[in-house]
């Protein structure tokens, strides 16, 4: 193995390193990736294995799931809590997110339990109690400074999606709409308009990419539930964030550290570079250094954990790019 470069991506608490290496041409990358996944699971670390080519620098659009991704709650469960039907709804939500229930039928059953409650009052309470995922604001602010377009595509509900859009500065928001009786202002127990199913999430990703004039290969999708799988697999870079086991099993890139800003490492942006971007906006300086854009792969773990990270590097030599390095953090 030829170790080309080691770079530190993190500055503060989170340990994140990037290794650029070349692996032997005869190495079969599929089985190698499976071994890395096993190492990741057994050591409680995240390993990302990417080819170092222009695709990594051509991303232009980032699409997020909302519930348990941008925010820490499931909106339908929060609505149910204030409506007094939390236990019934939560069981259906958990089964749907694990992929055990059809998403459309599960949504229909949950929404029916909200019938007769005042829509404005419920959504007002939910919006006042939103808990954003650590790192969400930092990630979206950095992406915006870098010129990315961003969207939230949620199987939740539009009033909350718009609140999240406004707070994080996103460009698009798509979600379900609960039908409201215009006379009474009460929920009818049904949805209105197209339901954001897993297939619609994938279709909306493609539609936004088309509007923004970019290819699907130039998109990034981040989500946690079974209903995100089609969207994650369609994007150029699909990231399972603190995802259900079924989702992690079918996605190539996974983040299990509960900090959404670690997505920046997977697109080659170091913590120092992100801080410099923020400082430039404020007219201040960070440590007197220069901003660095990390252009290869990264690994991250909690402080004190052992690390294993690899990177695949494009090369014209007879050796196939890839990597694995391990040691103490």
| Angstrom distances, CA of residue 141 to CA of 211, 260, 261, 264, 274 | 22, 12, 10, 11, 9
Whether the pLDDT of residue 118 is over 60: the answer is: yes
pLDDT in the model for residue 291: 36
Q: Residue 13 — φ and ψ, nearest 5°?
A: -70, -45
Q: Which of 46, 52, 65, 259 is catalytic?
A: 65
Q: For residues 65 and 311, which has the higher predicted lDDT (pLDDT)?
A: 65
Of the chain, the end-to-end C-alpha distance in Å amounts to 21
67 is catalytic: yes
- pLDDT confidence bin for 329, thresholds 50/70/90: very low
pTM for the model stands at 0.83
Cα angle, residue 271 at apex, residues 265 and 273 outer, rounded to 5° = 100
Share of the chain above pLDDT 90, in %: 55
Whether the pLDDT of residue 315 is over 70: the answer is: no
Burial class, 4, CB count within 10 angstroms (exposed 0-12 / middle 13-18 / buried 19+): middle
**Residues 6 or more apart in contact with residue 108 via CB below 8 angstroms:** 190, 191
Q: For residues 122 and 272, which has the higher predicted lDDT (pLDDT)?
A: 122
pLDDT in the model for residue 13: 64
Copy the structure tokens of residue 177.
């709409």
What is the pLDDT averaged over residues 254-274?
91
Please tell me the least confidently modeled range out of 78-82, 263-267, 291-295.
Answer: 291-295
Q: pLDDT per residue over 149-189, tens digit each?
A: 999 999 999 999 999 999 999 999 999 999 999 999 999 99
pLDDT in the model for residue 307: 37
Whether the pLDDT of residue 233 is over 90: the answer is: yes
pLDDT in the model for residue 289: 39
Q: Which of 46, 67, 77, 228 is catalytic?
A: 67
Q: pLDDT per residue over 208-218, tens digit each?
A: 999 999 999 99
pLDDT in the model for residue 283: 64
- Cα–Cα dist 269/260, whole Å: 13
- Cα–Cα dist 135/137, whole Å: 6
pLDDT in the model for residue 285: 47
- Cα–Cα dist 87/94, whole Å: 11
pLDDT in the model for residue 7: 86
> What's the mean per-residue pLDDT of the chain?
84
For 225-272, the DSSP string reads: SGGGHHHHHHSSEEEEES--HHHHHT-SEEE-SS-GGGHHHHTTB-HH
pLDDT in the model for residue 321: 32
- pLDDT confidence bin for 292, thresholds 50/70/90: very low
**312-315 long-range CB contacts below 8 Å, 24 or more apart?**
312/23, 312/29, 312/49, 312/50, 312/51, 312/52, 313/4, 313/20, 313/21, 313/22, 313/51, 313/52, 314/51, 314/52, 314/53, 315/22
Please tell me the least confidently modeled range out of 94-103, 239-248, 282-291.
Answer: 282-291
């Amino acid at each position: 193995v030829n170790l080309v470069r080691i770079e530190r991506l993190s500055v503060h608490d989170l340990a994140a390193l990037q290794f650029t290496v070349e692996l032997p041409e005869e190495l079969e990358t599929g089985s190698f990736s499976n071994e890395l996944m096993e190492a990741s699971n057994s050591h409680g670390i995240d390993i990302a294995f990417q080819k170092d080519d222009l695709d990594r620098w051509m991303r232009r659009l980032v699409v997020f799931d909302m519930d348990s991704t941008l925010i820490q709650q499931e909106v339908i469960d929060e609505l149910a809590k204030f409506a007094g039907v939390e236990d019934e709804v939560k069981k259906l939500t958990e089964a749907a997110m694990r992929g055990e229930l059809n998403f459309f039928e599960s949504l229909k059953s949950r929404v029916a339990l909200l019938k007769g409650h005042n829509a404005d009052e419920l959504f007002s309470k939910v919006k006042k109690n939103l808990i954003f995922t650590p790192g969400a604001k930092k990630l979206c602010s950095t992406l915006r400074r870098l010129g990315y377009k961003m969207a939230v595509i949620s199987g939740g509900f539009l009033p909350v999606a718009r609140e999240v859009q406004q707070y994080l500065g996103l460009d698009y928001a798509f979600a379900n709409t609960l039908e409201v009786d215009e006379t009474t202002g009460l929920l009818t127990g049904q949805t209105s308009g197209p339901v954001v199913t897993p297939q619609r999430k994938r279709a909306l990703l493609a539609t936004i990419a088309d509007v923004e004039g970019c290819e699907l290969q130039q998109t990034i999708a981040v989500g946690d539930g079974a209903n995100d799988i089609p969207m994650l697999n369609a994007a150029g870079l699909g990231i399972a964030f603190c995802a259900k086991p079924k989702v992690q099993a079918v996605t190539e890139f996974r983040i299990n550290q509960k900090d959404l800003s670690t997505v920046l490492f997977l697109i080659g942006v170091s913590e120092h570079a992100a801080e410099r971007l923020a400082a430039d906006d404020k007219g201040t300086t960070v440590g007197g250094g220069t901003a660095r854009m990390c252009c290869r792969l990264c690994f991250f773990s909690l402080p004190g954990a052992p690390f294993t990270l690899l990177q695949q590097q494009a090369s014209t030599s007879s050796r196939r790019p890839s990597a694995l390095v391990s040691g103490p953090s």
